[in-house]
Amino acid sequence: MRVLIAIPVFNERKYVEQVLRKVRRFHDEVLLIDDGSTDGTAEYLATRSDIHLIRHPENRGYGTTIRQSTGNRSTAASPTSSTTATP
């Protein structure tokens, strides 16, 4: 069984690095869904090759982000790529 920890983020540049450091102590497969951040969060996450990343070009809300992380296989990203989700 494969386990992937999904973390939705929106304008969390100040905290996301620390959160990732702590989460990765427990598991190395992490998916972040950037929900249209405008504070540099998405750009920072795009530089990381050790995470899975889905980027929304605009904020879609927490519910949409969670639904996408749990069931939308068409937007799965490899650890070295970034996927921009479209409606």
Q: What's the full length of the chain, in residues? A: 87
pTM: 0.73
- 7-11, 41-45, 83-87: which range is least confident on average? 83-87
Range of 26's domain? Answer: 5-84
Q: 12-50 burial by CB neighbour count: b if 16+ within 10 A, else e?
A: bbeebeeebeeeeeeeeebbbbbbbbeeebbebbeebee
pLDDT digits (tens, 9 = 90+) for 27-76: 999 999 999 999 999 999 999 999 999 999 998 887 777 777 666 544 44
Query: Structural domain tally of the chain?
Result: 1
